[in-house]
Amino acid sequence: MLEKSIRAFMPYPFAPVKSAPVGTLAGLTFAVKDLFDVAGYPTGGGNPHILAMSGIRRNNSPVVQQLLDNGAQFIGKTHTNEMAFSMSGHNYHYGTPVNGAAPERIPGGSSSGSASAVSNQCCDFALGTDTGGSVRTPASYCGLFGIRPTHGRISLDGCQPLAESMDTCGWFARDATVFAAVGDVLLPEDTVDSASPSLAIHPALFSRLPASSQQCLLPFIDAISSTWGGVHQISAELPDVDSAYLAFRVIQGRESWQAQGETIEREGLVLGPDVAARFAWGKQVTDSQVSEAITVREQVTQWWNEQLGNRILIMPTVPDVAPLLTTSDSEIEHIRRISHDLLSIAVLTRRPQVTIPLATLQGAPLGLSLMGPCGSDRQLIRLAGEIYSLARTGR
C-alpha cells in the first residue's frame, strides 16, 4: 500500500508489460513518468482532460522498449507536474508526491512522481524528463542520482513534448551501479575523449548560494580536487544571468505554446494557475523576442565552450535544499527563478549534467553536479560514481 500513500503513481488499472527474461537490467524494477507511452496504459500528461483524450496506447515509446528489452520490469506510471511545466512537484489536480528523503519538503518537479517512487524505494530507477531542470531538481531534493543527458542523445519519440529544443529524457536511481547500468542501455558511446577527466569550477556559481549551502558543498570540492589533481578555476565574469534566464524563458515559452497551445485552446483545458500563466505568457512571445533569445543562447554557449573546452564543470545543482511543503506559492516561484540561473546553463548549451546525492543540510539532501561537454554522458556517470564512492568511503 506504500504506492498509494506516497502519491507517486497514477492509479491506472494494472496491465502486464512484457520484458525480456534476461539482460543487463534483469532483476531491476522501473517506473515511467506519465509523459511516455507504455502499451496498455494511457498517457495523461498530468492533466485529467489530456488523460481523457489519450486512449490506451498500443506501443511503448522507444526508451521504454529499450529498458524492457534489457530485462527491466515495469511497475507503473508516475505523476508529473501538469504538462511538465512546473518545478514544485505539486499537481493542481492530483496533489503532491511524497519526498522519500525529506517527507516534510516538496519533491521538486516536474518528474516528481518518478523521484518519489525511487526515493521511497518502490522501484530501482525511474524515467523522467528534464526541460528546465525537471530531473536535476527533484534528484537533488530527494537525494538521488539524476541526469539531464546531452540534448538529442536519447529518443523522445512517444513522449509528450514541452519545448523541442530543450526536452531531454533522464532518469533517477538511488544506487550508483544501477544509475550507470541504465546509462549503458540508453546512451550511445561518448563522442569525446573519455581519458582522465580535467575538472573546472567557477567560484561565482557557488557565491550565489546561501552561506549554509556553500559551507555544505565546498568540502566535497576540496576532496575532489585533492583526489583528481586539482580543479581549474574560471575567473572570467559570467554571462549576464538575467539575459540568459530571459532567453531560456522566451524559447521555452514559444516552444511550449507551439507544442500544446492548440490543444489548450481547442479543448478548453483546465490548468492549474501557475501552469496556465506560463502557457499564456508563452502565447504572447514575439518572433523578435525569439530571435534575440536565440542569439543570447548562442553567445552563452560560445562563452562556456571557450571557458571549458572538454573540461567537466563542478557546480551546484540547485541553490538550496527542498522548500518545506508549507512554503508559499510566491516563495516557490522565487526559488524556481533563482534555481534557473544554475539549471539553464546546461539547457542553453545542450550539455549533459549529472547530479550526485552528496550533501545533507538541515536533515535534507543537497546535490552537487557535474556538467560536461556534449557527448560526454557516460564519462559523467562514471565520474559521478567515483566521487560518490570517495565521499562515502574516503577513497
| Catalytically annotated residues | 33, 110, 134
Burial 81-104 (b: 16+ CB within 10 A, else e): bbbbbbbbbbbbebebbbbbbbee
CA torsion sign, 65 to 71 to 77 to 81? Answer: negative
Backbone angles phi and psi of 53, in degrees to 5 = -85, -10
**Which runs of consecutive H residues, i.e. helices, occur in the chain?**
2-5, 48-54, 62-69, 112-119, 136-142, 176-186, 203-207, 211-227, 241-267, 273-283, 287-308, 329-349, 377-393
Q: From CA 217, how far away is CA 159, in angstroms rounded?
A: 35
Q: Where are the alpha helices (DSSP H) in 327-376?
A: 329-349
CA 142/CA 100 separation, integer angstroms: 6
Give kind and range of the element (H or E) at residue 200: strand 199-201
Q: Supply 241's cell numbers.
A: 544571468
Torsion sign over Cα 55, 252, 67, 153: positive
Residue 351 φ then ψ, to 5°? -80, 155
Would you say 92 and 271 are in contact if contact means Cβ atoms under 8 Å apart? Answer: yes
Verify cis geometry, omega within 30 degrees of 0, for the bond prior to 110: yes
Strands 312-316 and 364-371: antiparallel
